[in-house]
Amino acid sequence: MAKGNITATQLATQLGITPAAVRRHLDLLEGEGLVVARASRRPGNSRGRPAKSFKITDAGRDRFYQAYSELAVQAIVQLLDAAGPQGLDALAQAHFSPIESFFSEALAADPDKTPHAALVAALDARGYAASLSQMATGSQLCQHHCPVADVARAYPEICEVETSLIAQLLQSHVQRLATIAHGDGICTTNIPAGVVA
C-alpha cells in the first residue's frame, strides 16, 4: 500500500502469503472504508476479468500515527521564540476568527436567530460539537469536542482567547467551568442571564 495502487497478488508476493488470504483481508478493509478497489488491466493482457488494485483511503491513512499536534506545538515554540507571547495571541485570534465570521453571517442571514444559537452553529461548523442548555440562572455552553485540545494542553492561553471571544460575541460575562485541554470530558462555559460584559 505504500506504493499506491497494488493488487492482491502483488501484496501476496511481498508478504509471502496466498493471494486468497490477502483478498480476504482486503475485502474486510474495503468494507471498513480503509481501502478502495478499482479495476486494473494488466499491461499486455486484455483477456479475462481485470484485476482489482487497491489503494488506501484517507480513513485508512488516519489509522497511522499522526504528528499534526506535535508539529503544531513545535511551531508555536518557534513562534514564541521569534515573536514572544503576542505571537501566540495573534495565532489564537487567527484560529478563532472564522467562528466570529460565521457567527456574524448567521445572525445577518436570520434575524430570528438568537446570538446563543448563532454561536452554537459557528462552533459546530468548526468541529467543536457544541450544545446549549438553559438553566435557572442563565445557560451553559458545552463543547463536546476540541479540535485543538493537544495544543491547548500545552498552551492554555488558547482557551482564554476562546473564552474572551464567547463573552465578546454574546456581549455577556461568561465563566469557563471545565475544558477538555485540562482533562475534563467537555468544555463547559457558564453564561449567566442578564450579566453584560
Would you kindly state where each structural domain of the chain is located, as residue ranges? 6-61, 87-192
Q: In the predicted model, is pLDDT for residue 184 greater than 80?
A: yes
Q: How confident is the model at residue 196 (pLDDT cuts 50, 70, 90)?
A: low
How would residue 98 be classed by pLDDT, with cut points 50, 70 and 90? very high
Of the pLDDT bands very low, low, confident and very high (cuts 50, 70, 90), residue 1 is: very low
Q: What is the pLDDT at residue 195?
A: 66
CA 142, 148, 149, 154: dihedral to nearest 10 degrees?
-140
- Range 31-55 average pLDDT: 75
Sheet strands side by side (includes 51-56): 6-7, 51-56, 35-40
CB atoms within 10 A of CB 144: 12
DSSP three-state, residue 68: helix
Q: Is the pLDDT of residue 39 over 50?
A: yes
pLDDT of 130 > 60? The answer is: yes
Residue 16 has pLDDT above 70, yes or no: yes
Q: How confident is the model at residue 3 (pLDDT cuts 50, 70, 90)?
A: very low
Question: What architecture is domain 6-61?
Answer: Orthogonal Bundle (1.10)
What confidence score (pLDDT) does residue 2 get? 45
Helix runs in the chain, H state only? 8-15, 19-31, 58-61, 68-83, 85-109, 115-125, 149-154, 157-170
pLDDT of the residue at 51: 76
Task: Decide if 58 contacts 27 (C-beta within 8 A).
Answer: no
